[in-house]
């Protein structure tokens, strides 16, 4: 929160910097010759109006830092040093309930009126609080497309009033309902204009041969708490027919918004306008196809029959005009459209503040749930808008939402509960002084609220000492005006007291007009007269300074613009406006555009340079580096959104920030097939040991698309007995295979050895049969035995 103590400390540090920055004093280096010019140089500059102050100094020495003037002998009562101030004019407390005896005095924003007194360049701040009260009255106007394609939808909503009143009764005790319808302009080429189609545009159409004549917009039922009337009027309606696909819905929206008395909008109620259609709308300039060149005037044009009488006279309204009139009348617009039109109308919501879009079933059977969802969404957020914003005033916002953390650059809080209070700090700075006597006003209000903060602004551009200026004062030799300690001489006279005439010159005067010995007189850019330099005029800007050494055009430029248009040129150096830095003031210090939805600077993948994110993480892109399919944390970041959006689990589900942080489109499928090569497949394990799969794709439209399984893949684990039998069976199988292999190897080996043996035997027999010297050893043995036996027997006998 902004406090006077912090403000004083900031100014003290700033002034210390200004005194010590390279010896440069911005107040004395300027060209101020009057109190008003001094105050415009910088908010830290002050002017001394004391008569006898600085007699031997140059005129610009009266303009200096406040503490410097005091040190040099200027009494505090003569110092002109205005500061920006804030006065609270009306500060009624916030209400807690919207219905009951006090419903006409409900307050949802505090304070209600303030006054700002601003010195250019001097920033100040104020706070405001907003609360969505409970049981606030609701006015709902149902605006329906009655072209032929909506026939089944008309049949569905014939008893809508009773059911909707029952559901809304759970949210508010004060509910009113109204009804209107539209088709398109009854003229070519938008509708059938041949005579046979005038009374029955469906003439000759076999599927539905009878319908009512084409009309632009028809107000049927003003807002009422008698829901039976709604049912009765809806049951009387019949569809019509037009020629082209787009409808004239924007004509109808504008009339429903601006015809306040006919519709019956209450000042003390939320205004909901439900727009139900199954096709795209005609936009501004489409009317020229039918010869309508007159732009829409933004006024109510309902005739005695409550029909739009200017349908065939004026063009369709533009988105800008539509947004202006909706905001002016505090109307929340709810687009209830079919799925194929969702993206188109979603783009419209970015251009029209206070609008939401919901998907309508083909036969409108979900319309009640759609309205309840949209209403809860509207009531869960607060967003500030500024109207009649003066061009010369800078505004910056800091939101403090339900978590108590300040969010610089934000003017919106979401995920709120009814009755919660949020606050916003608003910093204000005037850049310049408007013409004298000009007072400005602007308004800050939450979107769709009747409550507002009115801010009146006046500017501190004049010095109080100027009120006592003396014409033809004796202090100015009676030929000049004495004002704030200085003389403003009549034409042709010069000097601190108008003591010299133009054209007088001497060597003494000339030496006083040189910045240093050897330098040119008046820096070569002026003439020396009466001990003072009179600087030449230049077509490029102003030349000034005691020795004409300075100008306001010799500074750095950006794209040909001096100081980038965000600063002032002082003596060759750009003095940047608040919020800009750099040699040429082309670098913005604003960081609000660099914060991603999760509150991180550049999504933690880059740095904020000159108000824009420069992504340093390879593969990261987007305005806040939020898109990065190839980043290591891409799957982890998107996983949290999958968990909270699909299964209401995970970290984001606990702190109710899922809807604010997870805005990607999520498509659920039964089986995941990653056909797109640019898509990243992400897989993670859930708490139940299941496997969840999804793909992450950055579409060419710039939108992130997540395609996820409807349910995680969970396989049943095998039993212990099955595992044991599988292991034993595997071991036995391996053993049998090894034995069979060993047996095969042994058999092959034995057969080879046996074949070798057989071959050796055959070869041996061959040798015995073919060698004459070979004798069988067995035969020899028996022969020897026979000889021995004969010898033995002979010896015996």
Q: What is the CATH number for 541?
A: 2.10.25.10
What is residue 64's predicted lDDT score, i.e. its pLDDT?
A: 87
- Express as a percent the part of the chain with pLDDT over 90: 34
At 334 the pLDDT is 94
187 and 52 co-located in one domain: no
- Using a 10 angstrom Cβ sphere, with 0-12 exposed, 13-18 middle and 19 or more buried, the burial of residue 756 is exposed
Q: Which residue, among 499, 560, 506, has the nearest Cα to 528 in the 3D structure? A: 506
Q: What is the pLDDT of residues 175-194, one digit of tens each?
A: 999 999 999 999 999 988 88
Answer yes or no: is pLDDT of 777 > 70. Answer: no
User: Which of 451, 322, 335 is closest to 385 using CA atoms?
Assistant: 451
Report how far apart, in Å, the C-alpha atoms of 437 and of each of 124, 304, 462, 464 are: 22, 47, 11, 15
Residues 6+ apart with CB under 8 A from 614: 602, 606, 607, 608
Burial class (CB in 10 A: 0-12, 13-18, 19+), 301: buried
Of 74-78, 208-212, 297-301, minimum mean pLDDT range: 208-212
For residues 385 and 411, give the distance between their C-alpha atoms in angstroms, rounded to a whole number: 8
Q: How confident is the model at residue 785 (pLDDT cuts 50, 70, 90)?
A: low
Cis bond before residue 163 (omega within 30° of 0): no
pLDDT value of position 692: 81
For residue 279, what are the CA distances in angstroms to 144, 275, 344?
Answer: 12, 11, 10
The helix/strand/coil state of 110 is strand
Lowest mean pLDDT among 99-103, 335-339, 401-405, 436-440: 99-103
Statement to judge: residues 301 and 365 lie in one domain? yes
End residue of a domain, out of 43, 66, 82: 82
Give the range among 265-279, 456-470, 678-692 with minimum mean pLDDT.
678-692
Last residue of a domain, one of 568, 588, 608: 588
pLDDT given at position 603: 81
How high is the mean pLDDT of the chain? 83
The listed range with the strongest mean pLDDT (205-209, 270-274, 471-475) is 270-274
Which band of pLDDT confidence, cut at 50, 70 and 90, is reported for residue 17? very low
Radius of gyration of the chain (CA): 46
The closest alpha carbon to 307, from 251, 261, 260, 223, belongs to: 251
Q: For residue range 606-621, list pLDDT tens digits in order.
A: 888 888 898 888 878 8
**Whether the Cβ atoms of residue 513 and residue 530 lie closer than 8 Å to each other:** no
- Across residues 679-694, what is the average pLDDT? 79
Question: In this model, does residue 10 exceed pLDDT 70?
Answer: no
In a domain, 741, yes or no: no
Q: What is the DSSP code string of 508-562?
A: HHHHTTBSSTTSPBGGGSEEEETTEEEEPPBTTB-EESTTS-EESS-S-EETTEE
Position 465 scores a pLDDT of: 92
What token pair was written down for 594? 């660099």
Q: Which helix (H) or strand (E) holds 681?
A: strand 680-685
pLDDT at 654: 63
Residue 435: inside a domain: no
Residue 330 maps to a domain: yes
When pLDDT is cut at 50, 70 and 90, the band that residue 294 belongs to is very high
Higher model confidence: residue 54 or residue 650?
A: 650
Mean pLDDT of 254-268: 94
Distance CA 45, CA 69 (A): 10
Give the structural domain span for 47: 26-82
Q: Specify the higher pLDDT residue, 342 or 700.
A: 342
In which band, very low, low, confident or very high, does the pLDDT at 222 lie, cut at 50, 70 and 90?
A: very high
CA nearest 285: which of 255, 308, 250, 317? 317
Domain-located, residue 51? yes
- Residue-wise pLDDT tens digits, 535-551: 876 767 778 888 888 88
Are 691 and 562 contained in the same domain?
Answer: no
Q: What is the pLDDT of residue 60?
A: 45
- What number is the average pLDDT over the span 768-772? 62
Q: Classify burial at 349, counting beta carbons within 10 Å of its beta carbon; exposed 0-12, middle 13-18, buried 19 or more.
A: middle
Residue 21 pLDDT level (bands cut at 50, 70, 90):
very low
- Residue 580 and residue 529 in one domain: no
Highest mean pLDDT among 185-194, 308-317, 471-480: 308-317
In a domain, 314, yes or no: yes
CA distances to 431, 630, 699, 750, 756 from 678, rounded to whole Å, are 49, 10, 9, 64, 69
Q: If DSSP states are collapsed to H, E and C, what string results for 421-466?
A: EEEEEEEEEECCCCCCCCCEEEEEEECCCCCCEEEEEEECCCCHHH
Q: Is the pLDDT of residue 317 over 50?
A: yes
What's the pLDDT score for residue 32?
Answer: 75
CATH number assigned to the domain comprising residue 686: 4.10.1240.30
Write the CATH number for 182: 3.40.50.410
The answer to whether the beta carbons of residues 41 and 573 sit under 8 Å apart is: no
Task: Please state, in angstroms and rounded to a whole number, the distance separating the CA atoms of residues 204 and 209.
Answer: 6
Pair (662, 683) in one structural domain? yes
Residue pair 463/485 in contact (Cβ under 8 Å)? The answer is no
pLDDT of residue 786: 57
pLDDT of residue 760: 83
Helix (H) or strand (E) holding 35: helix 35-41
Q: Which of 333, 352, 380 is the last residue of a domain?
A: 380
Range 15-26 average pLDDT: 48
Residue 473 included in any domain? no
pLDDT of residue 635: 77
Residues 276 and 368 in one domain: yes
Give the pLDDT of residue 787.
Answer: 55
Which of 358-367, 470-479, 524-533 bottoms out in mean pLDDT, i.e. has the lowest? 524-533
Per the structure, how many domains does the chain have?
A: 5
Question: What is d(CA 666, CA 641) in angstroms, rounded to the nearest whole number?
Answer: 9
Q: Kindly report whether the global pTM for this prediction surpasses the value 0.85.
A: no
Whether the pLDDT of residue 730 is over 70: the answer is yes
Q: Dig out the tokens for 129 from the structure.
A: 């609080």
Are 163 and 218 contained in the same domain? yes
Nearest to 709 by CA among 732, 736, 681: 681
pLDDT of 172 above 80: yes
pLDDT tens string 230-241? 999 998 999 998
* Domain-located, residue 34: yes
Strand-pair category, 573-576 with 567-570: antiparallel
Domain match, 220 and 334 both = yes
Q: Is the domain of 548 the same as that of 561?
A: no
User: What is the average per-residue pLDDT within 8-29?
Assistant: 51
Q: Across residues 755-770, what is the average pLDDT? A: 75
579 lies in the same domain as 692: no
Claim to verify: residue 260 and residue 337 sit in the same structural domain: yes
E strand or H helix at 355: strand 355-359
Using an 8 Å Cβ cutoff, are 577 and 585 in contact?
yes
Residue 88's H or E segment, with its range, is strand 85-90
The band of 307, judged by pLDDT with boundaries at 50, 70 and 90, is very high
Does any domain span residue 176?
A: yes
Give me the mean pLDDT over the 2-25 stretch.
Answer: 46
* Average pLDDT over every residue of 732-736: 91
Q: Identify the pLDDT of residue 263.
A: 96
For the segment 148-158, the average pLDDT, to the nearest whole number, is: 84
> At 786, phi and psi to the nearest 5?
-65, -40
- Whether 285 and 351 map to the same domain: the answer is yes
Position 1 scores a pLDDT of 43
Taking only the tens place, the pLDDT of each residue in 476-517 is 988 889 999 888 888 888 777 787 776 655 555 567 788 888
């Amino acid at each position: 929160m902004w406090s006077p103590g912090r403000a004083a400390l900031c100014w003290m540090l700033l002034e210390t910097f200004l005194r010590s920055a390279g010896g440069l004093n911005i107040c004395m280096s300027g060209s101020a010759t009057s109190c008003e010019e001094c105050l415009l140089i910088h908010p830290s500059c002050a002017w001394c109006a004391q008569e006898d102050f600085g007699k031997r100094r140059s005129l610009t020495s009266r303009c200096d830092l406040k503490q410097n003037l005091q040190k040099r002998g200027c009494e505090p009562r003569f110092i002109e040093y205005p500061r920006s101030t804030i006065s609270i004019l009306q500060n009624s407390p916030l209400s807690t309930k919207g219905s009951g005896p006090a419903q006409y005095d409900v307050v949802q924003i505090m304070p209600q009126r303030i006054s700002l007194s601003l010195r250019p360049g001097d920033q100040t701040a104020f706070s405001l609080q907003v609360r969505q009260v409970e049981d606030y009255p609701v006015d709902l106007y149902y605006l329906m497309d009655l072209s032929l394609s909506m026939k089944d939808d008309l049949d569905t909503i014939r008893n809508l009033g009773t059911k909707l009143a029952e559901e809304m009764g759970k949210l508010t005790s004060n509910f009113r309902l109204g009804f209107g319808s539209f088709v398109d302009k009854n003229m070519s080429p938008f509708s059938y204009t041949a005579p046979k189609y005038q009374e029955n545009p469906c003439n000759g159409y076999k599927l539905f041969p009878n319908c009512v004549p084409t009309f632009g917009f028809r107000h049927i039922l003003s807002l009422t708490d008698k829901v039976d009337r709604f049912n009765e009027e809806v049951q009387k309606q019949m569809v019509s027919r037009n020629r082209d696909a787009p409808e004239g819905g924007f004509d109808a929206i504008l009339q429903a918004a601006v015809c306040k008395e006919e519709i019956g909008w209450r000042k003390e109620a939320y205004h909901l306008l439900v727009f139900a259609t199954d096709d795209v709308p005609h936009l501004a300039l489409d009317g020229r196809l039918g010869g309508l060149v007159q732009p829409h005037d933004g006024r109510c044009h309902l005739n005695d029959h409550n029909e739009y009488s200017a349908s065939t006279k004026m063009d369709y309204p533009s988105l800008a005009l539509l947004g202006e009139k909706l905001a002016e009348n505090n109307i929340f617009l709810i687009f209830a459209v079919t799925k194929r039109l969702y993206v188109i109308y979603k783009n419209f919501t970015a251009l029209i503040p206070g609008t939401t879009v919901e998907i309508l079933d083909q036969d409108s059977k979900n319309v009640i749930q759609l309205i309840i969802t949209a209403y809860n969404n509207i009531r869960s957020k607060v967003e500030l808008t500024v109207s009649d914003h003066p061009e010369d005033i800078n505004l910056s916002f800091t939101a403090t939402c339900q978590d108590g953390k300040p969010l610089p650059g934000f003017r919106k809080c979401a995920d709120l509960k009814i009755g919660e209070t949020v606050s916003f700090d608003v910093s204000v700075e005037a850049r310049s002084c408007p013409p004298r006597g000009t007072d400005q006003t602007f308004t800050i209000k939450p979107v769709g609220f009747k409550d507002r903060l009115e801010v009146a602004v006046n500017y501190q551009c004049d010095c109080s000492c100027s009120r006592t200026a003396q014409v033809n004062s004796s202090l100015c030799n009676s030929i000049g005006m004495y004002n704030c300690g200085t003389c403003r001489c009549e034409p042709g006279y010069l000097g601190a007291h108008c003591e010299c005439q133009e054209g007088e010159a001497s060597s003494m005067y000339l030496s006083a007009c040189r910045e240093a010995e050897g330098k040119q007189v008046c820096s070569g850019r002026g003439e020396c007269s009466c001990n003072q330099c009179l600087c030449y005029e230049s077509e490029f800007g102003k030349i000034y300074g005691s020795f004409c050494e300075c100008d306001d055009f010799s500074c750095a430029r950006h794209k040909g613009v001096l100081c980038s248009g965000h600063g002032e040129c002082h003596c060759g150096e750009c003095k940047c406006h608040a919020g800009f830095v750099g040699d040429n003031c082309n670098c913005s210090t604003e960081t609000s555009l660099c914060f991603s939805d999760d509150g991180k600077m550049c999504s933690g993948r880059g740095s904020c340079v000159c108000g824009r994110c420069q992504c340093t993480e390879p593969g990261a892109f987007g305005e806040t580096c939020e898109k990065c399919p190839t980043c290591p944390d891409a799957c982890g970041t998107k996983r949290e959104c999958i968990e909270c959006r699909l299964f209401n689990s995970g970290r984001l589900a606990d702190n109710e920030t899922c809807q604010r942080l997870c805005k990607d489109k999520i498509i659920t499928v039964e089986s995941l097939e990653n056909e797109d090569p640019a898509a990243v497949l992400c897989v993670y394990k859930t708490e139940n040991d299941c496997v969840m799969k999804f793909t992450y794709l950055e579409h060419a439209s710039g939108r992130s698309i997540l395609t996820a399984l409807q349910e995680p893949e969970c396989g049943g684990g095998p039993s212990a007995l099955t595992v044991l039998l599988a292991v034993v069976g595997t071991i036995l199988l391996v053993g049998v295979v090894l034995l069979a292999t060993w047996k095969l190897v042994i058999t092959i080996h034995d057969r080879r050895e046996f074949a070798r043996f057989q071959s050796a035997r055959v070869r041996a027999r061959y040798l015995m049969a073919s060698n004459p010297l070979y004798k069988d050893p067995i035969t020899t043995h028996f022969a020897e035995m026979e000889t021995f036996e004969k010898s033995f027997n002979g010896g015996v006998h």
